[in-house]
Amino acid sequence: WQALGLSDKEIYTSGNLKIDSVGRNRFKSSKRNQLIDEFGFEESSIVLAGISTWKGEEKLLIEIVQTLRLENLDIRLLLVPRHAERREEVVGTLQTCELPFQVRTRNKNAKGGNVVYLADTTGELASLVGVADFGFMGKTLPPNKGGQNPIEPIALGIPLVVGPNYQNFHETCTDMFLHRAAIKTKDRSEVIKQLLQLAKSENRRKELKLACIQWMEKQGSPSAFTLEVIKKKLEI
């Protein structure tokens, strides 16, 4: 904007408008219990969510779950790919992992003892992901690049591990890292390390959840700020 000739006094930063489009801490325990049953998980299970994942990221998360289950940790995996049309590709990966899984579009109600739930639908992320205890932000691991918007899971208090590629949401993610509302990583091995640590530490998950809530409260209302600036400029 400065290159277009605007002065500093004419440039305002309102924040991410998506903040006003998501509810804050609106995921009720009754809804979580309903989904736990629907997914075939146990109430005591630790749930990892792969949020808006891209090619290669699902396999990484599956391998992490396999590792943890070999250590007798009751961890379950909710996969929500960014593109539902990748379902057959993801199903192919799941078929090689020897873990019980359920595909939502085939039958949304999984049998008890299910380990991986593939939410291969569009537009349900916010209504499903609140079941998670922690998550991985998709499109952030090479060769994928750019990232996905982390605000929705953060608004639900879900601790996030973010890969090194979050270029499309650099300002938002950087602020989250600064306030410890999300975990920054430099490569694949560090993503694995951080996810393993979160799975094993309830206290760490609680700390991050609180930081998520505090970060959201700090944001205020970008829409209201924008509206006030417009009204002032128009002298309304």
Tokens of 144: 């994928």
pLDDT tens by residue, 175-234:
999 999 999 999 999 999 999 999 999 999 999 999 999 999 898 776 776 777 778 777
E strand spans, the chain: 46-53, 75-81, 101-103, 116-118, 134-137, 160-162, 182-184
**CA-CA distance, 181 to 175, in Å (whole number)?**
8
27-234 CATH choice from 3.40.50.2000, 3.40.50.150, 3.40.50.620, 3.10.580.10: 3.40.50.2000
Instruction: Give the range among 6-20, 89-103, 149-163, 178-192 with minimum mean pLDDT.
Output: 6-20
| pLDDT confidence of residue 23 | 59
Tokens of 75: 């961890």
% of residues, the chain, pLDDT over 90: 77
Where in the chain are the domains? 27-234
Using alpha carbons, list the distances in angstroms from residue 117 to 43, 62, 102, 110, 232: 15, 11, 5, 8, 49
| pLDDT confidence of residue 86 | 97
| Planar angle of CA 125, 126, 132, nearest 5 degrees | 85
| Planar angle of CA 223, 206, 163, nearest 5 degrees | 65
How sure is the predictor about 21, in pLDDT bands with cuts at 50, 70 and 90? low
Note the pTM of the prediction, 2 decimals.
Answer: 0.89
The answer on pLDDT for 9 being more than 90 is no
Mean pLDDT value across residues 94-102: 96
% of residues, the chain, pLDDT over 70: 93
The answer on pLDDT for 1 being more than 70 is no
pLDDT tens by residue, 33-73:
999 999 999 999 999 999 999 999 999 999 999 999 999 99
- Cβ atoms of 161 and 190 within 8 Å: the answer is no
